[in-house]
């Protein structure tokens, strides 16, 4: 069964450092998303990406965050200057189209110290 | 108005019993309602989904009941098994090209022998 692959599984970084989280989408999927889940809380939408541009972003997705698909396959989330409150599980999700099933990766646990 | 409210926060059910999780929403633009199942350390996985033109959808032991006028929907797990122990999230997507999932707060379900 095709799956969304995320790397790394766990990233520890110092406050103020830049991190890049990577996602390999399912091959025929066209819509890409990042969500985050702070420990014990609900899953929150960060950003959606379609046709090489952001289609929507949440209030959480401020200027410190950026996304890109640099090589046409990997989909990345960059946090420029991490803060303690960025510590969370970050999930990449992909889908074939609107209002269709979104497949989630296993997540990257980001710990900012 | 974008929120999806979910209850209970946690639920303990005996093996063989019926697990019931409820969700409510305000935004009438929501038109796709998936339920996700999440095991510890894993990403959410789609369990079952419904559109508001039907009042019930059943897949195996899992049933969604949908009440459009009350803006409520619920997940019923029949003959609950220990393997069903997980966190369940209801979610919703709007019908005007906005692909993001708005998640409920989650229900931690524990099935006891």
Please state, as a whole number, how many other Cβ atoms lie within 10 Å of the Cβ of residue A9: 11
Residue B1 in this model has a pLDDT that exceeds 70: no
User: Pick from A44, A27, A42, A39: which is nearest to A103 by CA?
Assistant: A27
Highest-pLDDT range among A21-25, A98-102, B2-6: A21-25
Sequence spans of domains, chain B: 4-112
B68-105 confidence digits (pLDDT tens): 999 999 999 999 999 999 999 999 988 665 578 899 99
Gap between the Cα atoms of B82 and A80, Å rounded = 42
Of A50, A55, A101, the CB nearest to B46: A101
Sheet of A75-79: strands edge to edge? A5-7, A19-24, A75-79, A65-68
CATH architecture of B4-112: Sandwich (2.60)
- Binning pLDDT at 50, 70 and 90, where does residue A72 land? confident
| Least reliable range by pLDDT among A62-66, A68-72, A106-110, B15-19 | A68-72
Question: What average pLDDT does this structure show over A67-95?
Answer: 93
Query: What's domain A5-96's superfamily in CATH?
Result: Immunoglobulins (2.60.40.10)
Distance from CA of B98 to the nearest CA of A (A): 8
Q: Which residue has the tokens 């935004």?
A: B27
Of A35, A56, A102, the CB nearest to B98: A56
Sequence spans of domains, chain A: 5-96
CB B56 within 8 A of CB B65: yes
pLDDT score for A70:
81
> Which chain B positions have a beta carbon within 8 Å of A95's beta carbon?
99
CB B13 within 8 A of CB B19: yes
CB B94 within 8 A of CB B31: yes
Of B45, B95, B100, the CB nearest to A56: B100
The structure tokens listed for B37 are 């199942």
Give me the percent of chain B exceeding a pLDDT of 70: 96
pLDDT score for A99:
64
Task: Give the distance between the most distant pair of CA atoms in chain A.
Answer: 38
Is A33 touching B (CB cutoff 8 A)?
yes
Residue B17 in this model has a pLDDT that exceeds 90: yes
Distance from CA of B32 to the nearest CA of A (A): 7
Residue A28 in this model has a pLDDT that exceeds 70: yes
pLDDT score for A17:
98
Contact call for B43 and A104, based on CB within 8 A:
yes
Residue A8 in this model has a pLDDT that exceeds 70: yes
pLDDT score for B95:
65
Question: What average pLDDT does this structure show over A11-30?
Answer: 95
Is A91 touching B (CB cutoff 8 A)?
yes
Question: What is the residue-averaged pLDDT of chain A?
Answer: 92
Is A3 touching B (CB cutoff 8 A)?
no
Question: What average pLDDT does this structure show over B40-57?
Answer: 92
User: Pick from A1, A42, A47, A34: which is nearest to A107 by CA?
Assistant: A34
Residue of B nearest to A4 (CA): B43
């Amino acid at each position: 069964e095709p799956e969304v692959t995320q790397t790394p599984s766990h990233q520890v970084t110092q406050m103020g450092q830049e991190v890049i989280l990577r996602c390999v989408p399912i091959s025929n999927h066209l819509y890409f998303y990042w969500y985050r889940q702070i420990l014990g809380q609900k899953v929150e939408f960060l950003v959606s990406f379609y046709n090489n541009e952001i289609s929507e972003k949440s209030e959480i997705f401020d200027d410190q965050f950026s996304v890109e698909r640099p090589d046409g396959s990997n989909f990345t989330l960059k946090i420029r200057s991490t803060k303690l409150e960025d510590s969370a599980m970050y999930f990449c999700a992909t889908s074939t189209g609107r209002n269709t099933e979104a497949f989630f990766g296993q997540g990257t646990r980001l710990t900012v110290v | 108005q974008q929120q999806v409210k979910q209850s209970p926060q946690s639920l303990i059910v005996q093996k063989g019993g019926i697990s019931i999780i409820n969700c409510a929403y305000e935004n009438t633009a929501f038109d796709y309602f998936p339920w996700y199942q999440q095991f510890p350390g894993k990403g959410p996985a789609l369990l079952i989904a419904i559109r508001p033109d039907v009042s019930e959808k059943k897949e195996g032991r899992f049933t969604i009941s949908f009440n459009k006028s009350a803006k409520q929907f619920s997940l019923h797990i029949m003959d609950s098994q220990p393997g069903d122990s997980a966190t369940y999230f209801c979610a919703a997507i709007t019908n005007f090209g906005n692909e993001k999932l708005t998640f409920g707060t989650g229900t931690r379900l524990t099935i006891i022998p």
